[in-house]
Amino acid sequence: MKIAVLDAYTVNPGDLSWQPLQDIGELTIYPRTTPDVVVERCKDIDAVLTNKVVFDKHILNQLPKLKYIGVLATGYNVVDIDTASQQGITVTNIPAYSTASVAQMVWAHILNITNQVAHYAEENRHSRWTKCPDFCYYDYTHIELAGKNIGIVGLGNTGKAVARIALAFGMNVLAYTSKQTLPTGITSVSLENLFKNSNIISLHCPLTTATHHLVDNTRIALMQTNAILINASRGPVVDDSAVAKALHEGKIAAYGADVLTVEPPQPSNPLLTAPNCYLTPHIAWATIEARTRLIQTAINNIRAFIEGRSVNKIN
């Protein structure tokens, strides 16, 4: 079997091994693949692993030999599932490999915003504390989480992990979810009530036509002016321009995000220069532990496919 990894670098920049995958078949690894060379690199390939390289109908129609697409992520919107199914191509994904890591990043953003750890560390590199006439100083209002309301949009694996941590902080957890039975301590509310009543809102919903720009000017208008918004789901769930405008106008207190609508962002993205906006470059998933699980699951998926078994199959 001929196997190609099309965008290997982000998953494995060199600190992990591809050897178990090499043991399965004839492996070609590409650190990156641009859209114009996808067909050329895949035309004689049986199985391909992709993270962000797109396989739309136009691409798939040019790959009659392709039998397997392993998406190196939980989300699989980079593949036209209907066309893949019509052509007999099996598509798999990697579910829940980064749950703990993404939840950890969510709270890194929340704690940085509420306690301003990065700000004070940087200030003290420039002698701010050593020149202070008092034993301490603070130029931000610090926020205690206990007793505050956190609203979680989407209560899948990551949403539930974020909720468990919130409960440990003594917070009240509100959730907008289709689930009928909720874990103890979590209250189901409407989306409108969640936006109105939450001190912190954390987004954990998939990107669909229904959730595209779920956070727009209308929903921002429902939020408290001291509310914090966190996005560790998908960039287009949020209207970047609407959030940047809200930050400039003081309609919300802060925005912490690990994702943007276009990645990497254009220099003109208004969030890059918005006040109280804290961005990380889509790295919540990328702890070494999560990436190790991802690669091992990808190998297990393709082994199962070769053996005629169905593991983590999307279609």
**Strand, helix or coil for residue 261:** coil
Q: What are φ and ψ of residue 26, in 5° steps? A: -80, 110
**Phi and psi for 170 in degrees, rounded to 5?**
80, 25
Return the percent helix, strand and coil in the chain, to nearest 5.
35, 15, 50
- In the block, tokens 């939450």 appear at 198
Question: What's the CA gap between 160 and 120, in Å, rounded?
Answer: 31
Residues with catalytic function: 234, 263, 282
Listed in sequence order, the residues at least 6 apart from 127 whose beta carbon sits closer than 8 Å to its beta carbon are none
Amino acid identity of 295? I
Please give the angle made by the CA atoms of 252, 257 and 259, to the nearest 5 degrees. 135
User: Please, are residues 217 and 191 in contact by the beta-carbon 8 Å criterion?
Assistant: no
Task: Name residue 187's beta-bridge partners.
Answer: 174
Beta bridge partners of 151: 174, 201
Beta strands in the chain (DSSP E): 2-5, 26-29, 47-50, 68-71, 90-92, 149-153, 172-176, 186-188, 200-203, 228-231, 254-257, 277-279
- What does the block give as tokens for 28? 């070609």
The DSSP result for 97-156, as a single string, is TTHHHHHHHHHHHHHHHHH-HHHHHHHHHTTTTTT-SSS---SS-----TT-EEEEE--S
